């Protein structure tokens, strides 16, 4: 059966009195232009000093002045290099492989540079372990050009020279030896072999040195559990592509869970191949990306998750665990236990609960299952934060035992729950130096602020995972008078050696084991011999087994205790669950306008964080979400209190799928120091992150007022036209004919029902010669992560418009990821009921009855960009032929020809055209990166910067396809399939977006086009898009 499920985008659509929904469905811009406000004030108009005659004079004068000025063109100066670097050819991009390791995000990447400027981050597809690039990594290139960056070292009085800083620190370090005070290093997670070696040398040189790693959003519990079991502070790695059954207890592994980067493995198993795909069962409180992608999602509070985990473990062991679960959850766990037992080695269990017991139980359970996806022997090192060590350090600082405190990549005064205590302790340290790229609360309080280099200006190395190393190399000289922390340590140790030499020494001395340094640097990564050598692996395995053998009895006893503690978890009345958003992470890139404007994949809200509340709790607390007349979302405010700490004025978003009694709040917002006023958005959730536990007992009270969100949720409705997302279950997919689950809409031709695809008003071009581009988007593989959205921004110079404009539905994203909620369980019932409707009234009432807004919805993500229709409705209505078609399948947009009638946008059934309401560059009203010379360095020189009054839209990165074609022509060869890419397909780590030439029968995209799951968006309109989608298949098989 075709899925005729009713999709809804917001719970407001489901309430009976939501007249705004109907209004929005009818009118894209529901608000009248405010001319009355202006013309209505007759008195003011009359009293104006400017007469009509004056007005005409001004108009005439300015027209004449403008035309006169236009007669003289500007003189452009061309300044060539004095000595041109060998590898730089103006107009040709260079790519460098490097590694991002900023303490929160770790990945192997390629950096595209033009004329020596890094302008784009790409995935390093060759790297054996990628740590996929997410939206934040894609956006990190803009943080390099942040105009608020620190431009040199400072102290309280103002700018200082590095010499002064060095002399002071050296003198203090030298004097410490006698005073008996310690030197403390408080740093981000480096996972860097060279930095570890350096710090060891530093400790040797000065003695009494403590090094504490600190993650703003840490994985303490998981690290502790792994350490207890395997003796090393690391995180077990998981390869989800090897799992048939994925069970998650609050682990948002498609988000930032344990460093993230699991998308590609997960997505690989989610695409049905030979009738099989993985099944994903998810227990969680907040609606997360992973939960949204799950086949079965059970909303559950963190305490209940613990009980469920204990019950599952017990069931697999054949014992039982206490604790009470809601009925639905209890049943789900029972069914799950059977399924896990059946899947055996093919099952994997993960948890994001910040509880060492839960983490220990999960490790034990995966080991017990012999899970293939579970890789404890090659763990990840990308989280090192140690809460206990930090506590000890703060105590030492408070006691005056710390003489020098050196900090790098951390902002404890912003990210610590007990920031005030840290501030007090910091005051007792004789000398503190904080390395940072930007001003932060911590740099303001430290004795010296040391301006640190951005990672694109730095050398470094990272061990992402055991045996998998990444090298960081600078791709641009330091823009400012900045220095790396490691280089500074070397200087303070009195070493002549540079940090580059030190890294190289480390590598050539050990890691490379004879391999070529230059090759490793060129590749940006190095897979160590430990991985390639089976003997080493076997030894490790042997060690592991030995360790297990020795500790077996104690482990069993510990486990039993852990399970019983888990089962005894007490459910609080209200639980706050803190999380990090894919757009903002821990907030270290809060000054990045791309990320601020990036709409959250789930709530579609940009420029804010908020408390997510279930509908039932919202009703109980009297919280509301309303839509203002202009389509903007408004939400109530609440004050939330955890353990005596109150964060007030938190806006509320009512979130379908939120577990009852739980509330979600994202980290990374509410930062004020060192940020432009526009970027100071949201509230700071870190004060509530007590004991580094994301689950907190909370009390919530409603506050006065309504918050204005910049949400693109109800905007760009598809005007009530359904059949956007086609969806089916694995069972139907495997057993029924494609016509059943991928039904082609029928239209009447000569009184006969025929498929809509066969009827056409227009003659077709001959596109059989040359290239004909198509794009495939697999709804099964798309996790909604949004890396493509930022990649598109970077590639195409898409402007940032700001919160106010977003609220007015003037967002400029060329690529949006629509998120649709649906209803579970009533799938068949829905269809039957819908078919029986007659008349508008009944269907309206029927839909309201049909769906329970508080239920746990299924979610589908759908990336939508210009569909590049072969018969494009926009082209026929353009009065100036500014948008036209190419035989390669692109729908072209000639900005210089556009006069801004916006007819095309009105006639586009997909609503993918974006209008430049203002000049977004060189305009103080839009003080983002395009308003300063530094930020403009990120612009792609091959793509135009659009001006006011011009329509723009996805160009399918024609500059990239044109380049691939030209390269091939120049080299006299055919283009290979991999060469044809767009920014989004390049950025997509899950392989959901595939771009290519369908005239090449060997190309991946032409194979996908022949797939039975292929369908076009709004097929019945007859636009013949060149973008097609693959039907979403859910694995709802219970066993």
Site for other proteins in 47-76 (CB under 8 A): 70-76
d(CA 528, CA 470): 10
Residue among 394 and 937 whose Cβ is closer to other proteins: 937
Minimum distance from residue 152 beta carbon to other proteins (Å)? 22
> Smallest distance from the beta carbon of 435 to other proteins, in angstroms?
28
606-622 residues labelled b (16+ CB within 10 A) or e (exposed): bbbbbbbbbbebbeebe
When asked if residue 937 is in the footprint of other proteins (CB under 8 A), the reply is yes
Per CB under 8 A, contacts with other proteins among 90-149 are: 90-92, 115, 117
Q: Does residue 768 interact with other proteins by CB under 8 A?
A: yes
Question: What is d(CA 322, CA 569) in angstroms, rounded to the nearest whole number?
Answer: 10
* Residue 146 DSSP code: -
Least CB distance to other proteins at residue 916 (A): 9
For the bound state, the minimum distance from the C-beta of residue 935 to other proteins, rounded and expressed in Å, comes to 11
Residue 161 CB, shortest distance to other proteins, in Å, is: 24
Stretch of residues binding other proteins (CB under 8 A), selected from 182-190, 517-525, 859-867, 914-922: 914-922
Give Rg (Cα) of the chain.
29
User: Which of the stretches 218-226, 323-331, 431-439, 948-956 binds other proteins when contact is defined by CB under 8 A?
Assistant: 948-956
**Cα 243 to Cα 268: distance, rounded to the nearest angstrom:** 10
Binding other proteins (rule: CB under 8 A), the pick from 399, 966, 1010, 1012 is 966
Options 80-88, 285-293, 425-433, 503-511: segment touching other proteins (CB under 8 A): 80-88
360 neighbors 225 (Cβ within 8 angstroms): yes
Distance set, CA 85 to CA 89, 118, 882 (Å): 8, 16, 40
Whether residue 859 contacts residue 292, with contact meaning beta carbons closer than 8 Å, is answered with: yes
Q: Where are the beta strands (DSSP E) in 157-208?
A: 158-159, 182-187
DSSP type of residue 508: I
Going by C-alpha positions, the residue among 7, 9, 8, 6 that lies closest to residue 713 is 9
* Residue with smaller CB distance to other proteins, 689 or 926: 926
Q: Are 1028 and 1014 in contact (CB under 8 A)?
A: yes
Size of the site for other proteins (CB under 8 A): 72
Q: Which of 398, 947, 1024, 1036 binds other proteins (CB under 8 A)?
A: 947
Q: What is the four-CA torsion angle of 377, 383, 386, 387, rounded to 10 degrees? A: -120
Question: Shortest CA distance to 430 belongs to which of 206, 211, 172, 158?
Answer: 172
Q: Contact with other proteins (CB under 8 A): which of 530, 968, 1014, 1021?
A: 968
Per CB under 8 A, does 84 bind other proteins?
yes
Among 878, 945, 988, 1018, binds other proteins (CB under 8 A): 945
Our finding on whether 913 is near other proteins (CB under 8 A) is no
Q: Which two tokens stand for residue 624?
A: 């509301």
Site for other proteins in 1003-1022 (CB under 8 A): none
How would you classify the pairing of strands 699-708 and 633-642? antiparallel
**Contact pattern for other proteins over residues 190 through 209, marking x by CB under 8 A:** --------------------
Among 101, 183, 930, 998, binds other proteins (CB under 8 A): 930
DSSP H or E segment with residue 964: helix 958-971
Rounded distance, CA 800 to CA 496, Å? 45
> Would you count residue 276 as binding other proteins (CB under 8 A)?
no
Q: How far apart are CB 887 and other proteins at their closest, in Å?
A: 5
Which parts of 483-542 interact with other proteins (CB under 8 A)? none
Q: Whole-angstrom Cα distance, residue 224 to residue 386?
A: 9
Q: How far is the CB of 145 from other proteins (least distance, A)?
A: 11
At residue 243, the 3 state secondary structure works out as coil
Residue 897 vs 1009, nearer CB to other proteins: 897
CB closer to other proteins out of 517 and 918: 918
Does the footprint of other proteins cover residue 948 (CB under 8 A)?
A: yes
**From 189, 955, 982, 989, residue interacting with other proteins (rule: CB under 8 A):** 955
Pick from 538, 641, 656, 668: which is nearest to 602 by CA? 656
Q: Cα dihedral sign for 384, 385, 387, 389?
A: positive
Among 187, 641, 921, 989, binds other proteins (CB under 8 A): 921
Do 453 and 485 meet the contact criterion of CB atoms below 8 Å apart?
no
Q: How far is the CB of 118 from other proteins (least distance, A)?
A: 13
Shortest distance, position 94 Cβ to other proteins, whole Å: 12
DSSP class per residue in 779-830: TTT-----HHHHHHHHHHTPPP--HHHHHTT----SSEEEEEEE-SS-HHHH
- When binding is defined by CB under 8 A, the residue of 702, 831, 941, 1011 that contacts other proteins is 941
- Tokens 């504490």 sit at which residue? 212
Q: Tell me the sheet residues that pair with 450.
A: 435
- Choose the binding region for other proteins from 229-237, 275-283, 565-573, 937-945 (rule: CB under 8 A): 937-945
Q: Using the rule CB under 8 A, is 933 a contact of other proteins?
A: yes
DSSP string, 621-657: HT--EEE-TTS-EEEEEEEEEETTEEEEEEEEEE-TT
Nearest approach, Cβ of 812 to other proteins (angstroms)? Answer: 15
Indicate which single residue of 79, 274, 704, 840 sits in contact with other proteins (rule: CB under 8 A).
79
Regarding 626 and contact with other proteins (CB under 8 A), the answer is no
Closest CB 910 distance from other proteins, rounded Å: 19
13 DSSP 8-state letter = G
Which of 171, 538, 754, 899 forms a contact with other proteins (CB under 8 A)? 899
Q: Which of residues 777-796 bind other proteins (CB under 8 A)?
A: none
Under the criterion CB under 8 A, does residue 564 sit at the interface with other proteins?
no
Of 258-266, 344-352, 877-885, 989-997: span binding other proteins (CB under 8 A): 877-885
Buried b (16+ CB within 10 A) or exposed e, 1015-1038: bbbbbbbbbbbbbbbbbbbbbbee
Q: 631: alpha, beta or left, given left = phi > 0 and alpha = psi -120 to 50?
A: left
| Interacting residue with other proteins among 950, 993, 1018, 1033 (CB under 8 A) | 950
**Element (DSSP H or E) covering residue 576:** strand 575-579
Q: Which is nearer to other proteins, 124 or 961 (CB)?
A: 961
* Member of 64, 89, 338, 759 binding other proteins (CB under 8 A): 89
Contact between 877 and other proteins (CB under 8 A)?
no
Select 52 or 973, whichever has its Cβ closest to other proteins: 973
Decide if 409 contacts 187 (C-beta within 8 A).
yes
Which of 594/956 has CB closer to other proteins?
956
Closest-CA residue to 768 (of 995, 999, 965, 1027): 999
Give least dist CB 904 to other proteins, A: 14
Length of the chain: 1039
Binders of other proteins in range 974-1003 (CB under 8 A): 974-975
In whole angstroms, how close is the CB of 151 to other proteins at the nearest point? 18
Query: Can you tell me which of 936, 1007, 1009, 1020 binds other proteins, judged by CB under 8 A?
Result: 936
Q: Which of residues 341-400 bind other proteins (CB under 8 A)?
A: none
Q: Where in 230-293 does DSSP place strands (E)?
A: 235-238, 245-249, 279-284
Measured from the CB atom, is 152 or 900 closer to other proteins? 900
Is 677 near other proteins (CB under 8 A)? Answer: no
């Amino acid at each position: 059966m075709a899925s005729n499920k009713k999709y809804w985008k917001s719970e407001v659509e489901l309430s009976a009195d939501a007249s705004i929904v109907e209004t929005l469905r009818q009118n894209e811009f529901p608000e009248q232009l405010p001319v009355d406000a202006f013309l209505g004030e007759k008195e003011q108009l009359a009293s104006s000093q400017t007469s009509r005659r004056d007005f005409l004079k001004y108009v005439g004068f300015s027209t004449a002045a403008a035309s006169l000025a236009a007669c003289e063109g500007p003189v452009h100066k061309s300044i060539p290099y004095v000595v041109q670097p060998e590898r730089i050819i103006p107009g040709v991009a260079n790519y460098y492989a490097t590694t991002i390791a900023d303490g929160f995000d770790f990945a192997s990447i390629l950096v595209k540079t033009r004329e020596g400027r890094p302008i784009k981050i790409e995935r390093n597809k060759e790297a054996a372990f990628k740590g996929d690039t997410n939206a934040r990594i894609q956006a990190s290139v803009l943080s390099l050009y942040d105009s608020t960056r620190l431009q040199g070292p400072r102290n309280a009085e103002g700018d200082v020279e590095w010499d002064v800083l060095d002399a002071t620190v050296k003198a203090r370090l030298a004097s410490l030896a006698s005073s008996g005070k310690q030197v403390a290093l408080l740093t981000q997670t480096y996972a860097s072999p060279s930095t570890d070696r350096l710090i060891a040398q530093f400790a040797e040189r000065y003695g009494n040195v403590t090094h504490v790693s600190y993650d703003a959003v840490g994985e303490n519990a998981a690290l502790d559990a792994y350490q207890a079991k395997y003796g090393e502070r690391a995180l077990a790695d998981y390869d989800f592509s090897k799992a048939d059954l994925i069970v998650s207890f609050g682990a948002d592994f498609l988000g930032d869970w344990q460093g993230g980067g699991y998308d590609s493995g997960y997505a690989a198993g989610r695409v049905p191949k030979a009738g099989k795909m993985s099944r994903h069962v998810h227990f969680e409180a907040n609606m997360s990306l992973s939960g949204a992608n799950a086949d079965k999602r059970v909303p559950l509070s963190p305490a209940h998750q613990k009980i469920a985990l204990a019950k599952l473990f017990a069931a697999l062991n054949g014992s039982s665990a206490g604790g009470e679960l809601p009925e639905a959850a209890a049943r789900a766990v029972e069914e799950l236990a059977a399924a896990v037992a059946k899947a055996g080695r093919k099952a994997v269990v993960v948890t994001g609960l910040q509880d060492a017991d839960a983490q220990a139980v999960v490790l034990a359970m995966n080991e017990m299952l012999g899970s293939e996806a579970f890789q404890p022997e090659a763990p990840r090192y990308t989280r090192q934060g140690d809460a206990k060590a930090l506590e000890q350090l703060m105590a030492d600082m408070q006691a005056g035992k710390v003489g020098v405190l050196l900090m790098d990549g951390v902002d404890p005064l912003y990210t610590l729950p007990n920031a005030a205590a840290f501030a007090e302790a910091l005051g007792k340290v004789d000398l503190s130096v904080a390395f940072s790229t930007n001003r932060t609360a911590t740099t303001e309080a430290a004795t010296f602020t040391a301006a640190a280099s951005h990672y694109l200006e730095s050398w470094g190395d990272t061990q992402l995972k055991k045996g998998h190393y990444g090298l960081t190399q600078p791709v641009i000289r330091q823009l400012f008078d900045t220095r790396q922390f490691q280089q500074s340590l070397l200087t303070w140790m009195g070493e002549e050696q540079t940090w580059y030499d030190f890294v190289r020494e480390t590598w050539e001395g050990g890691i490379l084991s004879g391999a070529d340094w230059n090759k490793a640097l060129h590749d940006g990564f190095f897979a160590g011999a430990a991985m390639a050598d089976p003997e080493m692996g076997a030894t490790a395995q042997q060690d592991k087994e030995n360790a297990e053998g020795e500790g077996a009895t104690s482990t069993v006893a510990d486990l039993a205790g852990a399970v019983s503690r888990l089962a005894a978890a007490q459910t609080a009345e209200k639980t706050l669950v803190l999380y990090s958003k894919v757009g903002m992470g821990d907030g270290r890139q809060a000054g990045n306008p791309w990320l601020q404007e990036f709409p959250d994949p789930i709530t579609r809200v940009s420029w804010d964080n908020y408390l997510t509340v279930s509908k039932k709790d919202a009703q109980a607390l009297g919280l509301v979400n309303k839509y203002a007349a202009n389509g903007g979302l408004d939400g109530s405010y609440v004050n939330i209190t955890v353990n005596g700490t109150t964060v007030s004025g938190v806006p509320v978003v009512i979130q379908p799928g939120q577990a009852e009694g739980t509330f979600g709040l994202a980290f990374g917002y509410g930062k004020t120091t060192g940020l432009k006023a526009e970027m100071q958005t949201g509230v700071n959730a870190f004060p509530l992150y007590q004991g580094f536990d994301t689950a907190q007992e909370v009390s919530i009270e409603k506050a006065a007022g309504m918050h204005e969100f910049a949400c693109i949720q109800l905007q760009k409705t598809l005007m009530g036209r359904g059949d956007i997302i086609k969806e089916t279950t694995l069972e139907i997919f495997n057993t029924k004919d494609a016509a059943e689950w991928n039904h082609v809409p029928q239209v009447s031709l000569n009184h006969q029902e025929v498929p809509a695809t066969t009827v056409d008003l227009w003659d077709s071009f001959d596109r059989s010669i040359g290239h004909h581009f198509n794009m495939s988007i697999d709804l099964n593989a798309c996790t909604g992560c949004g890396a493509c959205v930022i990649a598109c921004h970077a590639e195409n110079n898409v402007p940032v418009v700001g919160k106010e404009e977003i609220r007015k539905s003037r967002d400029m994203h060329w690529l949006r990821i629509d998120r649709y909620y649906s209803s579970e369980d009533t799938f068949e019932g829905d269809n039957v009921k819908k078919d029986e409707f007659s008349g508008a009234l009944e269907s309206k009432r029927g839909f309201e009855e049909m769906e329970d807004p508080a239920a746990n919805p299924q979610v589908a993500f759908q990336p939508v960009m210009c569909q590049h229709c072969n018969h494009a409705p926009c082209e026929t209505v353009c009065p100036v032929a500014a948008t036209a078609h190419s035989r390669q399948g692109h729908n072209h947009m000639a900005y210089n020809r556009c006069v801004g009638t916006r007819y095309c946008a009105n006639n586009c059934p997909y609503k993918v055209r974006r209008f430049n309401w203002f000049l977004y560059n060189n305009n103080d009203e839009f003080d983002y990166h395009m308003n300063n010379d530094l930020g403009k360095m990120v612009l792609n020189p091959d793509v135009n910067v659009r001006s006011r009054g011009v329509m723009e839209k996805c160009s399918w990165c024609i500059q990239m396809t044109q380049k691939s074609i030209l390269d091939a022509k120049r080299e006299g060869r055919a283009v290979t399939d991999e060469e044809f890419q767009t920014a989004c397909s390049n950025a997509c780590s899950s392989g959901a977006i595939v771009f290519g030439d369908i005239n090449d029968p060997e190309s991946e995209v032409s194979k996908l086009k022949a797939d039975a799951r292929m369908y076009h968006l709004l097929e019945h309109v007859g636009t013949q898009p060149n973008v097609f989608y693959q039907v979403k298949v859910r694995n709802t098989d219970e066993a």
